[in-house]
Amino acid sequence: MNIKRLKGFRDILPAEASAVRRIESVCAEVFARYGFSEIRLPLLEETLLFNRSIGEATDIVEKEMYTFTDAGDNTVTLRPEGTASAVRAFVENGFAKSAPKARWYYCGPMFRRERPQKGRFRQFHQIGAECFGFKEPAADGEMLALLWDLAGALFIRERVSLEINSLGCREDRAAYIDELKKFLMGKTGELCENCKTRIEKNPLRVIDCKNEKCKEATAAAPSILDWLCGECSDHFSAVRRILDGEAIPYSVNPRMVRGLDYYNRTTFELLTGELGSQNAVAAGGRYDGLVETLGGPAVPALGFAMGVERLTLMLGEGFGGDCGQPVYCVFRGEEGAKAAFSFRRKLILDGIGAGMDFEDRSFKAQMRSADSSGARLVAIFGESEVAEGKVSVKNLSDGSQSTLGADEAFEMISNFYKSA
Residue ranges in contact with ligand ATP by CB under 6 A: 81, 112, 114, 119-121, 124, 126, 259, 278, 280-283, 305, 307, 309-310
Question: At closest approach, how far in Å is the CB of 237 from ligand ATP?
Answer: 25
Question: At closest approach, how far in Å is the CB of 204 from ligand ATP?
Answer: 13
Question: At closest approach, how far in Å is the CB of 267 from ligand ATP?
Answer: 10
Sheet strands (E) in 177-256: 251-252
Cβ proximity to ligand ATP: between 307 and 336 the closer is 307
Give the distance between the most distant pair of CA atoms in the chain. 91
Question: At closest approach, how far in Å is the CB of 389 from ligand ATP?
Answer: 56
Is 233 in contact with 224 (CB distance < 8 Å)? no
- The phi, psi pair for 96, rounded to 5°, reads -55, -35
Q: Are strands 66-69 and 75-78 parallel, antiparallel or unpaired?
A: antiparallel
Cβ proximity to ligand ATP: between 130 and 385 the closer is 130
DSSP code of residue 317? G
Cβ proximity to ligand ATP: between 137 and 307 the closer is 307
- The phi, psi pair for 148, rounded to 5°, reads -65, -35
Cβ proximity to ligand ATP: between 222 and 259 the closer is 259
Q: Are strands 354-356 and 327-331 parallel, antiparallel or unpaired?
A: parallel
Cβ proximity to ligand ATP: between 86 and 282 the closer is 282
Cβ proximity to ligand ATP: between 210 and 364 the closer is 210
- The Cα–Cα gap between 363 and 327 comes to 15
Cβ proximity to ligand ATP: between 195 and 305 the closer is 305
Question: At closest approach, how far in Å is the CB of 330 from ligand ATP?
Answer: 42
- The Cα–Cα gap between 240 and 62 comes to 34
Burial 338-349 (b: 16+ CB within 10 A, else e): ebbeebbebbee
Cβ proximity to ligand ATP: between 223 and 278 the closer is 278
| Cβ neighbours for 365, distance < 8 A, ≥ 6 positions apart | 357
Q: Give kind and range of the element (H or E) at residue 180.
A: helix 170-185
Question: At closest approach, how far in Å is the CB of 158 from ligand ATP?
Answer: 18
Question: At closest approach, how far in Å is the CB of 305 from ligand ATP?
Answer: 4
Q: Give kind and range of the element (H or E) at residue 387.
A: helix 383-387
Minimal CB distance residue for ligand ATP: 307
Q: How far is CA 174 from the centre of its chain?
A: 32
Cβ proximity to ligand ATP: between 52 and 332 the closer is 52
- The Cα–Cα gap between 238 and 233 comes to 9
Question: At closest approach, how far in Å is the CB of 371 from ligand ATP?
Answer: 35
- The Cα–Cα gap between 80 and 58 comes to 12
Question: At closest approach, how far in Å is the CB of 284 from ligand ATP?
Answer: 7
- Mapping DSSP to helix (H, G, I), strand (E, B) and coil, where does residue 7 land? coil
Q: Give kind and range of the element (H or E) at residue 348.
A: helix 333-349
Question: Judging by beta carbons within 10 Å of its beta carbon (0-12, 13-18, 19+), is residue 66 exposed, middle or buried?
Answer: middle
Question: At closest approach, how far in Å is the CB of 283 from ligand ATP?
Answer: 4
Cβ proximity to ligand ATP: between 310 and 332 the closer is 310
What would the DSSP string read from start to end of 85-111? Answer: HHHHHHHHTTHHHH---EEEEEEEEEE
Is 375 in contact with 338 (CB distance < 8 Å)? no
Question: At closest approach, how far in Å is the CB of 259 from ligand ATP?
Answer: 5
Cβ proximity to ligand ATP: between 90 and 263 the closer is 263
- The Cα–Cα gap between 375 and 394 comes to 11
